[in-house]
Amino acid sequence: MSLYENMIEDNRGDNEKQTTEAKEQGSYHLAIEGVIKMPDLAVEALALTIRHLKQFGFDRMLCLGASFRPFSSNMEMNLSANTLQQLEVLRNNSDGSESGSLLHIMNLTLTIYGSRLLRHWVTHPLRDRNMISARLDAVSEIAECMGSYKDSQHVSGLDEDDSEVAIVQPHLYHLLSTVLTALGRSPDIERGITRIFHRTATASEFIAVFQAILAAGKRLKRLCIREGHNYDEVGSKTVKSVLLKRLILAASSSNAVGNAAKLLSTLNKEAAEQGDLTNLIIISDDQFPEVARAREAVQFAKKNLDSLIGMYRKQLQRRNLEFMSVSGTTHLIELPLDCLFSFATLLKNKNYVRPIFVDGSEPPQINICSGRHPVLETILQDNFVRNDTNLHADKEYCQIITGPNMGGKKLLHSPSCSYCLDGSGWFLCTSIVSKTACVRWHPHPNGGL
């Protein structure tokens, strides 16, 4: 329960933000109530799940109270896999493809995430009568608009003497079609929001997602009707369906559009496309002081690097030597150092030996004395039987290993295989080894070597 204690933000000054905060607090309390109403065993399972996900930084996904609901829901039907197969809901029974299935016929969505939601709707039919009626009302209203789209845009108004209302009604079908078509050409917003939530999205992906949200919200705002000084939202003259009205209001709300515009105003699109993280955030009016200090630190580090490059050019005798990054990814010296340090630690603890590579003029050969399997040696300690392998192009160049199953054949040739993979810089678990550099492996068609 402690994960939900810090979800409420600090109080905000203006009335609009206070109203938004009140709604968020209401959602917070509903989430708490939803968790409390769960059975004790479910709460214990939730606590263990949060503890496990916290190790990977994914515990925040369970802070969404709306995601908690009982399996035995009265709103949807839970169709079994056998039912879906027999009814050919997702795939046909002839060749197992989607062609000819119920989903294939119904799926005329314009976005990939709409297609995913439709798949859920088809496999989880509604049980609640009111929800079914609301969905049917929305579909009927859009269908009616499609039939009347041959008419021009509806423009209605009152005479200037009596008018307190000036209404310009864009056609509902045309507007929805335009918005959905634009969203279909944009990146996958659903997955983009998920990546943003888990902090794995790139800067360009972040900007693309919020640009799509902002564009869709602004277009849907055209359906709003303002009468006199009362700023009513979508009126009955534009949209009648309660479900459709709620969806449009959610997408075009001032909160969604305003937050998207605010976030985009602080980001440099060109820097995001170029992967320039230093100039990604636009600093103005004393915003983001930490970013400003970090930017100054980066500039100071660059000056220090520039002062060193002259000395390195002289030492390496390369006039065109420069510090650079490839594909926007900085080359970290610490990474290969860490690997080399790991190999050195293994060498010290296991007493491995360095392989000796014979001269290229000599025939190909592999000479291994007291070879061991590195994994089994760790498990069996001194009980592991060591083996010798001596292969030479002019002498014995082939060994055929036979024996019953579970007789240890693999344990004999596995160390030999590992010795031919020492190009990574790994010392080998043997007493003496001399060999020719390995070029390739020829696998057996049945999966052996």
Q: Looking at residue 145, what is its pLDDT?
A: 78
Judge whether 252 lies within some domain.
yes
Q: Looking at residue 423, what is its pLDDT?
A: 46
Judge whether 139 lies within some domain.
yes
Judge whether 33 lies within some domain.
yes
Q: Residues 379-399: what's their mean pLDDT?
A: 75
Last residue of a domain, one of 229, 255, 274: 274
Based on the fold, state whether residues 6 and 76 are members of the same structural domain: yes
Q: Looking at residue 29, what is its pLDDT?
A: 60
Judge whether 293 lies within some domain.
no
Q: Residues 320-336: what's their mean pLDDT?
A: 57
Q: Distance between CA atoms of 273 and 50, rounded to whole angstroms?
A: 36
Percent of the chain at pLDDT > 90 equals 0
Based on the fold, state whether residues 265 and 142 are members of the same structural domain: yes
Retrieve residue 62's tokens.
């369970």
Based on the fold, state whether residues 183 and 245 are members of the same structural domain: yes
Cα–Cα distances in angstroms (integers) from residue 22 to residues 3, 16, 25, in the given order? 20, 10, 5
In tens, the pLDDT along 170-198 reads: 577 778 888 888 888 888 888 888 888 88
Q: Residues 1-24: what's their mean pLDDT?
A: 42
Q: Looking at residue 160, what is its pLDDT?
A: 43
Last residue of a domain, one of 111, 128, 145: 128
Retrieve residue 71's tokens.
């399996």
Q: Residues 383-404: what's their mean pLDDT?
A: 77
Retrieve residue 368's tokens.
């291994």
Based on the fold, state whether residues 73 and 17 are members of the same structural domain: yes
Based on the fold, state whether residues 259 and 372 are members of the same structural domain: no
- The mean-pLDDT minimum among 21-35, 88-102, 185-199, 415-429 falls in 415-429
Q: Looking at residue 193, what is its pLDDT?
A: 87
Retrieve residue 362's tokens.
């000599």
Judge whether 26 lies within some domain.
yes
In tens, the pLDDT along 34-58 reads: 677 778 888 888 888 888 988 887 7
CATH number at residue 352: 3.40.50.300
Q: Looking at residue 39, what is its pLDDT?
A: 82
Q: Is the pLDDT of residue 244 over 50?
A: yes
Q: Is the pLDDT of residue 253 over 60?
A: yes
Q: Looking at residue 169, what is its pLDDT?
A: 45
- The mean-pLDDT minimum among 12-26, 251-265, 427-441 falls in 12-26
Based on the fold, state whether residues 116 and 181 are members of the same structural domain: no
Domain that holds residue 24: 2-128
In tens, the pLDDT along 364-387 reads: 878 777 777 665 666 676 666 777
Q: Looking at residue 31, what is its pLDDT?
A: 60
Average pLDDT, the chain: 71
Based on the fold, state whether residues 8 and 121 are members of the same structural domain: yes
How many domains does one find in the chain?
3
Judge whether 304 lies within some domain.
no
Q: Looking at residue 82, what is its pLDDT?
A: 84
Q: Distance between CA atoms of 35 and 7, rounded to whole angstroms?
A: 15
Q: Distance between CA atoms of 360 and 240, rounded to whole angstroms?
A: 84
Q: Residues 388-403: what's their mean pLDDT?
A: 79
Last residue of a domain, one of 220, 246, 274: 274
Based on the fold, state whether residues 69 and 150 are members of the same structural domain: no
Cα–Cα distances in angstroms (integers) from residue 65 to residues 18, 62, 139, 292, in the given order? 21, 7, 29, 36
Based on the fold, state whether residues 124 and 138 are members of the same structural domain: no
Based on the fold, state whether residues 199 and 221 are members of the same structural domain: yes
Judge whether 22 lies within some domain.
yes
Judge whether 240 lies within some domain.
yes
Q: Looking at residue 9, what is its pLDDT?
A: 40
- The mean-pLDDT minimum among 71-75, 152-156, 313-317 falls in 152-156
Q: Looking at residue 383, what is its pLDDT?
A: 67
209 class by beta-carbon count within 10 Å (0-12 exposed, 13-18 middle, 19+ buried): buried
Cα–Cα distances in angstroms (integers) from residue 117 to residues 79, 109, 114, 120, 308, in the given order? 16, 10, 5, 5, 57
Could you tell me the pLDDT band of residue 27, with boundaries at 50, 70 and 90? Answer: low
Could you tell me the pLDDT band of residue 307, with boundaries at 50, 70 and 90? Answer: confident
Q: Residues 264-277: what's their mean pLDDT?
A: 84
Cβ atoms of residues 237 and 158 within 8 Å: no
Based on the fold, state whether residues 269 and 138 are members of the same structural domain: yes
Based on the fold, state whether residues 165 and 256 are members of the same structural domain: yes
